Amino acid sequence: MDSIFTSENGRLVRRYDSETLWIEAWGDNSLRVRATRLGAMPEADWALLPPSPAEASVRIEGDRASVRNGKIEARIDDKGRIGFWDARGQALVREYARMWDSEGTPCAIKVPGREFTPIHGGDFALVARFEAYPGEKIFGMGQYQQSKMDMKGCILELAQRNSQVSVPFALSNRGYGLLWNNPAIGEVAFGENRAEWKARSTKALDYWITAGDSPAEIEEAYASATGKAPMMPDYGLGFWQCKLRYRTQAELLEAAREYKRRGLPIDVIVVDFFHWKKQGDWDFDPAYWPDPEGMARELKAMGIELMVSIWPTVETGSVHYQEMLRKGYLIGVDRGVRTSMQFCADTLFYDATNPGARDYLWRAAKKSYYDRGVRLFWLDEAEPEFTAYDFGNYRYHLGPDLQVGNLYPAMHAKAFYDGMKEAGEALPMNLVRCAWAGSQRYGALVWSGDIESSFDSLRNQVKAGLNMAIAGIPWWTTDIGGFFGGDVRDPAFNELLVRWFQYGALCPVFRLHGDRLPGKAPLAPGGTEFHSGADNEVWCFGDESYAIFRKFMLLRERMRPYLKGLMREAHDKGTPPMRPLFYDYPEDERAWAIEDEYLLGPELLVAPVLAAGAVSREVYLPAGADWVDARGERSFEGGRSVACEAPLDELPLFVRRGSGLVGHELFR
């Protein structure tokens, strides 16, 4: 009898009934697993780059087979169940299947590890099941607005929404990382009894798995598989001023000049949305922005980079609508009215999965902005943010939303990355409200979306940012102070803003933004008819707060050389600048449980104050190093918690003993 297994150019292939299964080396210590019930395996690589050469060893022994690549081995038993082992022979993770017991006796439950359910007239719904393990902890997966950082026990929607970012890479404390390399809308449940990954409509199972002796080794392998961030330009390292919204060129320039008059460091200032006449015009409204070139020149002379907001929405009355409709550059729907977002007008989103549409949008943006001196774009609404998240209704160039929708933000970032590189930009970087696996290689700086102004929200952002880092997105930031609900007249909000500002100063990117209350009325009918928030410059919140803001802005400025080194590591190796304690101290079990502290690089431990009224907090110092209070130079042995005073103008910081930062003037 012919074997159901073959070895084809180092790839293990199993053909049984209508299923074809491929397992092959894909980078060092890593394997890619694909399966389909179609006639041929789909060719799309999705988030993955072409692999570096790796020597895989394939063994076929009757109705069993295995493939080894460095520190990881996949074994397929005689029932088709896949398991993964490390170099020491320890099980990492196995498919969950209840078709037979361990002795091969049939099981009445009959739950397979890989289940393709045909969709009548379409492709397949897919479930991939894996065993659950006591004590396992799981991190990454992108950004979810929740209080848990450890994803064990969580159910996560695999879909993009405003402030929710699905980047489906999971890092386990068992020594593996798994990328669900499928952009379909779905769900993952990391249950106590089993884990299930689901795609609502797909053509194939596709995931990538790697083994490593440390989180850093796993993270670096993942970065090699999906791409590394470019080197961050120097202007990304300083302070970014933003608000909802500067209504005119004069308002923006006056804010920039005031920063300079006060001697405050500032690197970026932002022109937010509704600087246009209609969504989809992708141009300044000349009534309120009469001289964009002159504005950009004046800002550059002050050492300030200009960022401009771009939305992917196209009004039916915009100058580009008819041409984009004719060329098929707009997202379609399978039923009902084609409007996909109602926000001040009926709009459609352009189709970022269409190469022609990406090029069209970039050409329009280049003419209106880049050629006038703008080198930094804010790619808002990049999920895209449908008015109705009816994923089963939208259709893209690459296929139905249900099959490819999570890819949209990465392709939107690619539109501007490719265009800027073609235009000669050496270090493209753009602020994007969403991401998917691989977005980092397109210069995507992700922020956490339109979040509320509260301490609960601030606590959630700390966890979200760390999981985004583990999910492979090294450039990340928040709206300092939150976006919704911050009343500048409220002392409680002022306290929140100060604590958030301290945290923001020690994030990868330091950016002040929000829709402050009380709002300002629009100036006149026309393109600026949307309201503006209250003033949001650092001098607008009272003398005490201003003194604290200034202190942390100057700290950030002194940190430039250190931060630049971290960004170099992110570019070279994929090392996240901001990461959980366990990243550098995986042998310390307590470090895996700490969710309200983080490391900024290998030498600095940050413990933000995350509760209203708090003037002290407990800080855990991981074992494996001794630690020095960054300001007081008190020394502590690692592996213990210490009580820290934290008056409103202080943020607990610790430096690893032996580091060049001990006693550094950075903290004067």
Catalytic residue positions, numbered: 380, 383, 450
β-pair type (176-180, 444-447): unpaired
* Separation of alpha carbons 580 and 634, rounded Å: 23
Burial class from Cβ neighbours inside 10 Å (0-12, 13-18, 19+) for residue 467 reads: buried
User: Are 494 and 463 within 8 A, CB to CB?
Assistant: no
β-pairing, 578-579 vs 598-600, is: antiparallel
The Cβ-side half-sphere exposure at 401, using a 13 Å CA radius, reads 22
Amino acid at 572: D
Dihedral angle over CA of 592, 598, 602, 603, nearest 10: -130
Q: Are 635 and 628 contacting, i.e. CB atoms less than 8 angstroms apart?
A: yes
| CA neighbor of 478 nearest in space, from 513, 506, 502 | 513
| Torsional class of 275: left (φ above 0), alpha (ψ -120 to 50), beta (otherwise) | alpha
Three-state secondary-structure class, residue 269: strand
Q: Write out the two tokens for 18.
A: 């209508």
Closest CA to 199 of 304, 294, 149, 128: 128
Evaluate whether 141 touches 169 at the Cβ level (below 8 Å).
Answer: yes
Closest by CA to 178, choosing from 124, 214, 115, 221, is 221
CB-based contact 149:466 (threshold 8 Å): yes
* Plot region of 150 (φ>0 → left; ψ -120 to 50 → alpha; else → beta): beta
End-to-end CA distance of the chain: 77
Query: Is the separation of the CB atoms in 160 and 408 below 8 Å?
Result: yes
Encoding tokens for residue 415?
A: 């539109």
> How many Å separate Cα 268 from the centre of its chain?
21
The set of residues, in sequence order, having a beta carbon less than 8 Å from that of 566 and lying 6+ positions away, is 508, 575, 577, 600, 601
- List of long-range contacts for 232-236, beta carbons under 8 Å, 24+ apart: 232/427, 232/429, 232/475, 232/564, 232/567, 232/570, 232/571, 233/427, 233/429, 234/560, 234/564, 235/267, 235/268, 235/305, 235/376, 236/267, 236/268, 236/429, 236/445, 236/475, 236/509, 236/567
Question: CA 643 → CA 254, 455, 621, 627, distances in Å?
Answer: 44, 21, 11, 14
